[in-house]
Structure 1
Amino acid sequence: MSRTPSSRQHAANVLGALSLAIADRMNTAVEAIAALGPSAPAALAAMHEFLDGTSVTQLSSVLGLTHSGTVRLVDRLVAQGLAERVGAQDGRAVSVVLTQDGRSTAEQILRAREQSLASALSALPPDEIDNLAAALDAMLTAVTQSRAEDRATRTTDRPQPWLCRLCDFAACGRSEGNCPVNNANTTSTSRGR
């Protein structure tokens, strides 16, 4: 016996299918540029946008990888000439920084990501884009707050990757205070989460 789905059920199902289709298209595009595994594009984009000169520990947190997995990823980035390890003057810390080739590759990744996402948006007339953006901001805010609650009550050590690990910070308006993830995290932190 078939049932008629509610509008919410239909929207959730279609959103799930669309999310997978967009993620598949985007991942295929960005992984073709940095053919070093699925985490390399996010590592390069994150270091380009907000994390250059980071520690392996911080990069591990952003990517949601184990420390050893991040060390192996950094090894691959260094071997390809996309990043380098730079020791601190005191010799106790090592930072990972992008090389010029790494910056160029990260910029290619961000362009490929943008093109993948723009192709999905091309189905909408221009006057519907603002409404979609507002709805997506609201949904992303809710997801971010839920993740913050999960982190606060988490009993596992499984890393949770950052939502912004592959973002274009200029496009999200982070510096103007328009990033829904940053705003939700700021709100969650101020509430003690």
Structure 2
Amino acid sequence: MKFAFKEIVTASMVLFAVIDILGSVPIIIDLRKRVGHIQSGKASIVAACIMVAFLFIGEEILDLIGIDVNSFAVAGAFVIFFLAIEMILGISLYKDDKPQSASVVPIAFPLIAGAGTLTSILSLRAEYYVENIIVAIIVNIIFVYLVLKSSQRIGRILGDNGLSVIRKVFGVILLAIAVKLFATNINQLF
């Protein structure tokens, strides 16, 4: 076991930026309005399981289906890009059947443990010890759970205008993450 505080903090900050749960508050509130109930605990646990599983077998799964990490990252960049466009422009590109409840889809995957998060986990694995990344995942999941649980309160405090501003600001941040993810990985493909 090689626990290193600096690695845990750095990995936590990277995951925090990519998961961007605060930027997702407007999406979560909108989902809560549509389906009435969000299973915060279930969504958090499933997201944590997906992230830890991907930490250990992500590359093997991608190898099995013939996809390299860089292709996965570029695909993740496109998904994040379109999510950011939705947030910034206030439009809806993704049409889904009305979900019965919001927990595994779309909250655990792809909102929390989406392509960007999974790609980041693979990138972190190349640099840091696994146990430090697991601690970083747990720290982020606890924060995600607290935000999911108090999303209605956060929504009331911020109001519609506050949520709109936060959504646009985090949309721009998400757009920047998408561009960086794309730029970092596109060179490796050619």
TM > 0.5 between the two? no
TM-score under structure 1 length normalisation: 0.30
Q: TM (normalized to structure 2)?
A: 0.30
Q: Per residue, is there more strand in 1 or in 2? A: 1
**Structure showing the higher helix proportion among its residues:** 2
Higher RCO (CA-CA < 8 Å; seq separation 6+): 2
Larger radius of gyration: 1
